[in-house]
Structure 1
Amino acid sequence: MKLLKLFIAILAISGFTNAAISQGGGPATRNYAKEADNLWKSGAYSEAAEAFKKASEKVNPKNSKARLKKAYYAYMSATCYKLLHEFPAAEQQFEKSILLKYQETEPKTYFYLAEMEMAQCKHDEAKENYKKYDKINPGDPITKVRIESCEKYKESTSGENMTKHKVTNVTKLNTTGFDYSTVMGPRGNEMYFSSSRPGSTGEGTDPITGQNFMDIWVSKIDRNDNWGQPTPLGKEINTIDSEGTMCFDGRGKTMWFTRCPVEDKMNIGCEIFMVEKKGKSWGEAKKLELKDHDTTHVGHPAVSQDGKTMIFASNMAGGYGGVDLWMTTYDKRNDEWSLPVNLGDGINTAGNDVFPTITKENELFYASDGLVGLGGLDIYKCSQIGEEMKWEKPTNIGYPLNSCRDDYSLIFTERGKVERGYISSNRNGSKGDHSQDIWDFYLPPILVDVDILVTDVETGEAIPDAKVVIVGSGGENYVMNTDASGRITMTEKPDGSRYIEPGGTWTIEVEGQPKQYFSASDKFSVADVQNNTRIIRELKVLPIHDVIRLPEVRYDLGRATLQVNDSVNSKDSLNYLFDLMTANPTIIVQLMAHTDSRGSNGANLALSQRRADSCVSYLVHEKGLDEARLVPKGMGETTPTTIYDISEAGDTTGTHKLTESYINGFKSKKAVFEGLHQKNRRTEGKILSYDYVPKQEGGDQ
């Protein structure tokens, strides 16, 4: 429940009843009690709180009647402190009334004590007192909600259940009084808000709050995001009564605001007023006819961008709880608002539902104490259903935007790409002990840094000045060159934006350089990134040599079929060549197949040609390479390979070409003999050209 003009009055009407207790009990008690009772009836809760407290202190509980009277005054003092949101003082007086057994007369004393404990984040203590009240009155839905809220508090304020928002007090705008319910002006550089700071139009203090009367103030923000000294709006809007909780239409030319009149020191029902801007000044404020009884309160207007729909808070008859949200639509032809319609139990609760905001996207945000939350008023979000002014069921926007205290009046601003805005709250850290303050919030962007390193796959050395293309699935395209250490670091752009934003996938490609190295590519995804992340990718490029060795392309003796078995898969090596040629789409490769020296030269030449053809057939028909990029050539036994790992042949000195005469020297070592012949039965690639033009889909080359 809210310590603000409109709802202090409502809560006093709807939430508490005076017990029928005589004002007798001795001269010293009678004066304080009578004074307190009169102050309570006039709505002067700040003074009434102290008067009831003194009245209780003066009573000697010499018998049960005196004890009940002492307990009653403590209870009423607590009630006033509660309405004023002076939670420690209210807690103390409720505890005193319970020690004096006032719960036997008013069982809800347990409930109110629990409310005060919950407002101070004492959720364990609050749960016990809610349970005591629930045992006496098991059918109360709000008590059930509160118990569940206490049980879920720790879970809701820790780990993954927390949002990543940062919330800070706007100290430049806040005072030790009430500063709340912000709204941005049409240009986005002005903030309008309600305040009880010194300088208000009304004289003296508000009898309800004990503070100055509330007015609407405005502050401008400069280019460095510093707020200027607030100034009050003119007398067209601010009067001797309290004004606040306003909104604008989409053009910023019309303002709706709440005014709570005081007549003969008695508060009557709050009203919603409308005022239009005439040039640089405001015209005459006009009251909207939304209620049929003077004691009914209406306030907290929120109007859609087109100015046709208003949602407001009221305790008018036909609601579901203390204060509900209602909707009315504007009839331009007749210049009037329709009969208000309750938003229903999908939005409203058995508690209080207040401070609505309608965003540009027609999302509804509002505050409620009738749903499972963290304590006090929490802010809830409702997404629009279709194109109509209807909304889905509310969801709690979470901690730390919500706290165990009252949190309400959320607005978003449009400064930069970061989600940011303002809320009002009396949470810990507010400027005064009982103040309502303006708080800034923003959602820090998730930062994705990318480090790319390009190295030579054979030597491990970094490759400087390598051209790298980084392409995002959203159409982003960056072309960069590695520095002297072979690195590219992608963090923040010169304009302050980020190279890589969360969401989507990215491809990194190192462009190959003719006669230096082949292209290489890699991918990474930031689609599910939830926290600041550093992506590290090393792309190893293959240097271009005269020959591309494909050591695992093997064939059985005298056959052209690719060898695929448990120990070797020749297709894997050809897949490597396929990937290489896909990453380097302009190269043409000659595939050279070799045989061992067994058999005639002519037979071996024909066999090797068939083997080269087998490789090309696999790459073209199974992998999909363009046949024009592959030139098969059978080499027969004309080019025996050279071995460098001599220990494999049993010879530890020099290098040897695997000629027939050399291999015949190992006939007595059958395994070595066959292994050396196998090395000659190989396939190699040779780059013939770097200027192949890929075919265009649906057309010719």
Structure 2
Amino acid sequence: MKRDLLSVVLVSLVMLSVSFGQEKKLAKAQGQYDRYEYIDAQETYLKIIKKGYKDADLLKKLANSYYFNSEYAEAQKWYKELIDDYSSEAEAEYYFRYAQTLKAAEQYDQADVYMKKFTELANDDNRVKLFGDQPNYLERIDFQSGRFEIENSSINSSFTDFGTAFYDRFVVFASSRDTLIFKKTVHQWNNEAFLDLFQAEYDPTNGELSEIKKFNGTINSEFHESTPIFTKDGSTVYFTRNNYVKRKYGKDKKGTNKLKIYRSYKNSQGGWTTPQSLSFNSDEYSTAHPALSIDEQTLYFSSDMPGGKGLSDIYSVAINGDGSFGEPKNLGDTINTEGKETFPFISKNNDLYFASNGHLGLGGLDVFVTRLNPQTEEEALVVNIGKPVNSPKDDFAFIVDDESKRGYFSSNRSGGIGSDDIYSFLQLEDLRKFCKIVIAGLVTDKDTNEPLTGVKVSVYDSANNLIESIEVGEDGKYTTDELECSTKYFVRAEKEEYTTTEKLVTTPDTKQTLDVPLAMEKKIKSAGVGDDLAKVLSLKPIYFDFDQSYIREDAKIELAKVIEVMAQYPQMKIEVRSHTDSHGNDDYNLYLSEKRAKSTVDYMISKGISSDRLSGKGYGETEPVNDCGNDSNCTKDQYQLNRRSEFIILK
């Protein structure tokens, strides 16, 4: 008994020791996680899981540590385990992030499954609205795709290279390529050396970069510098740096070093003044990735400051005449989501380009564009710029010269040289802003022109995929949901006892309501004495060549329909009546119409219709259907209505 009791005590002590050890490791990992030291946090969490300790919170943090480091394949594995095993503890945001990792693996159908789950759990989220409004977002992206020709830049290294800016005849960018030669510090977020700014000679004719060298030593510090923006005269630079002022490394209350935007001026010797932190920076949140408006009186940037919508939002702030700043303003719901919006850039055309994982994309960060100060609804739309700039991975830091159509962006896509690479591009076509079209119309009986009720009107895309179906009301009218501009659609009307009719509609490139009337024919029609078979059978006009009376090939097709009906009803007798318009001599028109009526009758007899069932008469211009007689001033189409053949039922 004592032995058994001793065993129990020993086991309890061992378990207590292991449990206490795990708590210490979890506390260490939590600290690393809060400081964004994701490499160390991952190792700690993985060791804990390997020893059999696992819960929802641990899986969230492990998955996030990969997700925020853009290692989407590993993040997907742990998000899946979280959702599969701890779904009741997985908040909506984890379904969104899992969907993003599935997109990164190009599993878009599966991603949509979890986006739909996300919409159920977070119905007031702006990303839910975007997904609901754009269920065909991949088609939209395809629509924009192919407008850029891209190339992996020759300046890339096996390290991190990203975040370009135009500066006189140079392009300035961030890189960790050779900082380890001089600095032994490694950033624990991604286990790479800290970033410095470099410059390369820029050839605007082909976008090639060469002659790489370190940027000014006053700007570069012991820690990260990236994403600069220069004024047009090259006298001022804004850039991103770790919170590091006067050789002091700043931290927030949790011990995390945040990012700040700094400003430096070119001095009289051609160097740069000591960078100064901007007034709206804070130790408690990050500000980063500055961009300038066209007039250089507004600075745009991304930040996770309090009051924003998501992980980071894009803000603007006025630059006062004395160099001071106004109050930062959030750019609002059209641009910012509950996800991440970052890396703004303003082009010469006043277009705002930015990276986002909250707007609908191909996975990771995608590049989007919208017009600043839009004058129309179309200009206000946020548009994914498509492939090949965007990919399933992170694509960001887009800049473009609207005059040369050349520019650069950064990406961690497969096939690169380093973890992030710079890509050059030539823009081949302008981007198309999506606008919305509504198709509406009246459905009628083709013979009576009366509105039809109970008709099903369906809209299909060019690949014959159903977009929507509408039940026509008592007034015979239909109206579609909003459709895309400059797109082909089939509009189809179906009703029992009527022949299905369909129209191919190419929507215009400006927002409007497009009128598309639909006239339906009855499958079985009644016809009696005095009715015109041409109308009953909806014959196309039977034309004769100018001043001729022989039967043309196109007329033979229409006459075949009349002949077939007469074959089905052997007691039917008809009179062929031929009419002309008022052009030309009255007597001659009468003579010509007589010849055409006789020619039509002779042709039908030759095809087996008995002569005693047919008669023909020419009426010339004596029975117009409108007021286009002699000395009238009608249009070509109005005169055309009088050039007709009739097949009047006599018996």
SS at the partner of 1:440?
A: strand
**Structure 1 counterpart of 2:553:** none
Contact kept? 1:315, 1:324, Cα under 8 Å: yes
Confirm whether residue 207 of structure 1 aligns to residue 197 of structure 2: no
Corresponding residue for 1:281?
271
Secondary structure, aligned partner of 1:381: strand
Q: State the Cα distance separating 1:229 from its structure 2 match.
A: 5.0
Give the C-alpha shift of residue 24 in structure 1: 8.3
Structure 2 distance, partners of 1:141, 1:344, is 11
CA displacement, residues 253-273 of structure 1 (integer Å, 9 cap, x when unaligned): 211001122547943332111
Question: Is 1:294 matched up with 2:283?
Answer: yes
Letter of the 1:127 counterpart = D
The equivalent position to 1:216 in structure 2, one of 191, 194, 197, is 197
Residue deviations 1:503-524 (CA, integer Å, cap 9, x gap): xxxxxxxxxxxxxxxxxxxxxx
Aligned twin of 2:119:
134
Query: Does structure 2 retain, via aligned residues, the 8 Å contact 1:250–1:304?
Result: no
- Map of 2:66 onto structure 1: 81
Q: Which residue of 2 aligns with 1:340?
A: 328
Distance 2:426 2:302 in 1: 27
CA distance in 2, matches of 1:44, 1:319: 24
SS at match of 1:273: strand
- How big is each residue's C-alpha offset from its partner over 1:421-464, in whole Å with a ceiling of 9 and x where there is no partner? 111122232324xx222111113489xxxxxxxxxxxxxxxxxx
Residue by residue, what CA displacement relative to the aligned partner does 1:607-644 show, whole Å, maximum 9, x if unpaired?
xxxxxxxxxxxxxxxxxxxxxxxxxxxxxxxxxxxxxx
2:7 is aligned to: none
Matching residue of 1:33? 26
CA offset digits 1:196-237 (Å, max 9, x no partner): 223266541112232211111111246886533532223311
Name which of 359, 365, 372 aligns with 2:347. Answer: 359
Partner amino acid for 1:193?
Answer: F
Change (3 A) 1:344 1:372: same
**Shift in Å at residue 84 of structure 1?**
0.8
Equivalent runs, 1:466-615 vs 2, <5 Å? 566-567=546-547
Deviations 1:304-359, CA, capped at 9 Å, x for gaps: 34432211111223333332222222222x33111222223333333322111112
1:202–1:239: 8 Å Cα contact kept in structure 2?
no
Whichever residue aligns with residue 163 of structure 1, its letter is: G
Go from structure 1 to structure 2 and tell me whether the alpha carbon gap of 1:275 and 1:55 turns closer, same or farther (over 3 Å shift): same
1:49 to 30, 42, 47: 42
> Residue 495 of structure 1 corresponds to which residue in structure 2?
none
CA deviations 1:637-683 (Å, max 9, x no partner) are xxxxxxxxxxxxxxxxxxxxxxxxxxxxxxxxxxxxxxxxxxxxxxx
The count of aligned residue pairs is 409
2:176 aligned with 1:196: yes
CA distance in 1, matches of 2:294, 2:111: 41
Change (3 A) 1:347 1:140: closer
User: Which residues in structure 2 correspond to 1:240-259 (within 5 Å)?
Assistant: 240-259=222-241
Question: Residue 374 of structure 2 contacts residue 380 of structure 2 at CA under 8 Å; is this kept in 1?
Answer: no
Distance 2:275 2:393 in 1: 34
Letter in 2 for 1:53: L
Q: Is 1:115 matched up with 2:96?
A: no
Which stretch has the larger CA shift, 137-146 or 39-48? 137-146
Q: Deviation digits for residues 441-488 of structure 1, max 9, x if unmatched?
A: 113489xxxxxxxxxxxxxxxxxxxxxxxxxxxxxxxxxxxxxxxxxx
Which runs of 5 or more residues in structure 2 are unaligned?
1-14, 244-248, 431-507, 509-544, 549-651
% same residue: 28
Alpha-carbon RMSD: 3.3
- Give, in whole Å, the separation in 1 of the partners of 2:40 and 2:275: 32
2:16 and 2:270 mapped to 1: Cα distance? 56
Distance 1:329 1:25, change over 3 A: same
**C-alpha separation between the residues in 2 aligned to 1:212 and 1:120?**
28
The structural deviation recorded for 1:143 is: 4.2
Q: Closer, same or farther in 2 for the Cα pair 1:27/1:378, shift >3 Å?
A: same
Q: Which structure: larger Rg? A: 1
Paired letter, 1:89: E
1:53-76 C-alpha deviation (Å, 9 max, x unpaired): 1111112xxxxxx5xx34533332
* CA distance in structure 1 between the aligned counterparts of 2:348 and 2:147, rounded to whole angstroms: 23
**Conservation of the 8 A alpha-carbon contact between 1:301 and 1:310:** yes
1:194 alignment partner AA? A
- Give the letter aligned to residue 248 of structure 1: F
> Using the alignment, how far apart are the partners of 1:325 and 1:70 within structure 2?
35
Q: TM-score, normalised by structure 2?
A: 0.57
Residue type of the alignment partner of 1:39: Q
Is residue 419 of structure 1 aligned with residue 405 of structure 2? yes
Q: Measure, in 1, the Cα distance between the counterparts of 2:132 and 2:107.
A: 12
Asked whether the 8 Å contact 1:114–1:125 carries over to 2, the reply is: yes
Alpha-carbon offset, residue 240 of structure 1: 1.3
Amino acid of the structure 2 residue aligned with 1:152? N
The answer for the alignment partner of 1:166 in structure 2 is 149
Taking the TM superposition and a 5 Å limit, the aligned residue runs for 1:614-653 are none
Displacement of 1:398 in angstroms is 2.4
CA contact (8 A) 1:205 1:212 kept: yes
**Structure 1: distance between partners of 2:66 and 2:185:** 21
Aligned to 1:428: 414
